[in-house]
Amino acid sequence: MIFNSYTFYIFLPIVFLIFWRLPKQEYRNAWLLIASYVFYGWWDWRFLSLIIASSFWDFWVGIRLEQADFKQKKYWVASSLIFNLGLLGYFKYHNFFTESLKELLFSIGLNFNYSTLDIILPVGISFYTFQTLSYSLDIYRGKLAPTKSWLSFFTFVSFFPQLVAGPIERASHLLPQFFNKKEFNYAWAVDGTRLMLWGLFKKVVIADNLAYTVDHIFGNYETRAAWVLYEGLIFFAFQIYCDFSGYSDIARGVARWFGIDIMRNFNRPYFATSFRDFWSRWHISLSTWFKDYVYIPLGGNRNGELHQLKNLGITFVLSGLWHGANWTFVMWGFLHAIYYIPETLVRKIKSFTFSIPNGLKRFFVFHFVLIAWAYFRAPSLDVANQYILKMIGGILLHPGAFVFIKGYWVIGLIISLVILEYTMKDREHPFEIKPKALRWTIYTVVSIVILWFQSYHTSSSFIYFQF
């Protein structure tokens, strides 16, 4: 089931109404657990077994970690790592590593006849395995006490608003919210509805319409002018942003209907003035996960600059691989490491006082991020390389040949989005408008536009479902 579907528009009110009619929190958790399994099983019920197995194993590991001595704790946390990463490795990376090994051996004259498997990638597996894994790791580190309530834990793992595309929540933040009975908060639910409306607008009206143009440009890049390729990259940058941040906004809004707070995953990333700033704004739940569970355990910024740079490189490359079983994602992560590392070195030079205007910083950061997006979107490294070379070479040879492609109204939507987000600053949505009559007029217009586009185009899955 996806958020931008009529099925979900029926599903959500039913779950909401029954939830608030139940007298005890245990009953509410049980209802949310059932609803979450229905929500996920709507796609393919067979893969519910993976979520249940992952939930059971880490719940059990958490209890064993509390009872174990220091040596035994290492074995139990290792079992959690092996189980969760094993699931992820088999379903997501088995064929990738098999093909990569075959190509490597073939390049040195050896034949490797092991065939790939016909494996379906379960939706959201990268998200819920990281969520349960962080629970075990936090208990092992002594930062969290294990829960004795299997129902609360299973609900935490499978909570349907953020189950298949995040944010990747920490147990320390989300899990306690399933213990205490809540009173319905009308103001919070209304604000959640505004978040859902804003997220649906970004997904259905902006991202889905940009997708058609982006697919057409990337599918025919050999015949396109350089400036059209440049526009295609800009369109993809806003497509993936509106698609993913739209999902996160809807997830946060839906959660508020049930009195649950989940973390903010995006904070106007294309206004970043540095690459460090960008990664504090983009997919915040993932970047902080890799910082806490990969970068810092590797040594972080301890043991000298050389080790810090190595740790940064490993972290970014692994974060790229997390996104998908393709060398394009590895390159995407590697490029961000290449961007991030020099900036880290410059920041340590105390005598470096050269000042650059924020507008110019944003321009350069956005365009370097744009280059990396080419690898994220392209089906192969060769296509991404050819796309970038054709684009940059053509622009340098014909700097004044800029032409807009068809779809001026979509360009207008992007410009409007940028202006809105610039004025929003720390606000989560643009609907805090007075007077009331104007606000409700805007709600109505935006809702009609969303429904019109949804009826005009077939509802499409969110990009991050594939990760």
In the numeric block, which tokens belong to residue 12?
């959500």
Q: Which residues contact 324 (CB under 8 A, 6 or more apart)?
A: 92, 466, 467
Q: Rounded to whole angstroms, how far apart are CA atoms 133 and 89?
A: 14
DSSP class of 3? T
Q: Are 336 and 307 in contact (CB under 8 A)?
A: no
**Tokens matching residue 315:** 């972290």
For 159, the token pair is: 């909570």
Residue type at 370 in one-letter notation: L
Contact 382, 190 (CB under 8 A): no
DSSP state of 114: P
Of the candidates 265, 240, 241, the one whose C-alpha atom is nearest the C-alpha of residue 252 is 265
Q: In whole angstroms, how large is the CA radius of gyration of the chain?
A: 23
Distance CA 92, CA 120 (A): 8
Burial 162-191 (b: 16+ CB within 10 A, else e): bbbbbbbbbbeebbebbeeeeeeeeeebeb
pLDDT for the residue 106: 63
pLDDT along the chain (467 residues), means of 10: 87 96 94 95 86 94 89 91 90 74 65 65 86 94 92 95 89 92 90 93 91 91 90 94 94 95 94 94 95 92 85 94 90 95 76 71 94 95 94 82 68 86 83 80 85 74 70
In DSSP notation, 326-376 reads SHHHHHHHHHHHHHHHHHHHHHT-TT------HHHHHHHHHHHHHHHHHHH
Q: Where are the alpha helices (DSSP H) in 94-206?
A: 94-107, 125-140, 150-158, 171-174, 186-200
Residue 58: predicted pLDDT: 94
* C-alpha pair distances (Å), 313 with each of 173, 234, 281, 333: 29, 26, 19, 8
Kindly list the domain boundaries of the chain, sorted by start residue: 6-182, 188-466
- 448/460 Cα distance (integer angstroms): 18
Half-sphere CA count of 301, side-chain side, radius 13 A: 5
Q: Which of 283, 323, 336, 429 is catalytic?
A: 323
Q: Count CB-CB contacts under 10 A for residue 227.
A: 19
Residue 94 known to be catalytic? no
394: how many CB neighbours lie within 10 A of its CB?
18
Alpha-carbon span 261 to 254, nearest angstrom: 10
CA–CA separation, 110 and 275 (whole Å): 42
The whole-number pLDDT of residue 459 equals 60
Q: Which residues of 396-414 are buried (b: 16+ CB within 10 A; e: fewer)?
A: eeeeeeeeebeeeebbebb
What was the pLDDT predicted at 439? 80
pTM confidence score: 0.91
The pLDDT score that the predictor gives to residue 114 is: 63
